[in-house]
Each structure stands twice: as structure tokens, then as C-alpha cells.
Amino acid sequence: MDMNLLDIGSSAEGKLRIIQESVPGKQVTLAHIIASPGEIIYRKLGLNPELDYEQSAIGILSMCPSEISVIAGDIAMKTAPIEIGFIDRFSGTLIFTGRISNVQSAVNNILTYLKNRLGFTVCEITRT
């Protein structure tokens, strides 16, 4: 039996059938700043409150593809004097601490870089 490549995807009625598949895009789905968090938040996140508590803010980002969290952590550290609390290249999570203004600057620079240089879709920064 000869196979004609033009027949692939065709139905018996002669119509072309197209199957679409959705894959994650390049996006930041969460960019949140917790200003003046309680000490218990540091403890529950596995951060050292003795070192971090006086710094006043926690930045939390979630992004995909997940490996971009490593680049985002690098941008944060090069932007301001912050401390990385957690980077997960498998889930796309980045958590860091610092003074409120430094965390704000780092989050802004991460979103700007990912949007303008890498074509990401970014969310708004939220804050509590």
C-alpha cells in the first residue's frame, strides 16, 4: 500500500483534521512582595529570621519555563543587596529577602528583563 503524505490528517470525507496541543508559554504568573512579614512567615518558608527578619520584605515569583528562575535569581542579586532564600528550577519558584525598596527594585528589574529582552508575558506586581 502506497502512502501519500497529503492523506495524513484527512478524514474519509476529505476534510483536514487539525489537532492543537497547548504547552506552557514564557510567563511570570506571580510576582508578589510581602512587606514587613511576621517572623513566623520566615520560619515557615525555611528562612532564618535572625538574619532575614530585620530586612523587612520577601519577594516571591513563579514563572515558566521553570529554569528561568535561575536567571531571575541572578538578576535579583545583581540589582540590589538581597538574599536568595529559595530557587527551584523544577517548579519555577524564586523567593528572596531584603529591604522593601531593594526587593521592589529586584522584582521590577526581573519583570522588565523577562518582558523586554526575552519576550515573556508578565503579571502585575502584587503586595501585602
Question: For the chain, which domains are there?
Answer: 27-127 (3.30.70.1710)
Length of the chain: 128
Q: Please, where are the H alpha helices in the chain?
A: 39-44, 49-52, 68-79, 100-116
Asked which of 38-42, 95-99, 104-108 is least confident by mean pLDDT, the reply is 38-42
- Is a pLDDT exceeding 50 seen at residue 103? yes
In whole angstroms, give the CA distance from residue 43 to residue 128. 18
Planar angle of CA 47, 51, 56, nearest 5 degrees: 85
Q: Is there a cis peptide before residue 24, judged by omega within 30 degrees of 0?
A: no
**According to the model, what pLDDT value does residue 44 have?**
87
Residue 50 binned pLDDT confidence (cut-offs 50, 70, 90):
low
Say whether 88 sits in a helix, a strand or coil: strand
- Is a pLDDT exceeding 80 seen at residue 102? yes
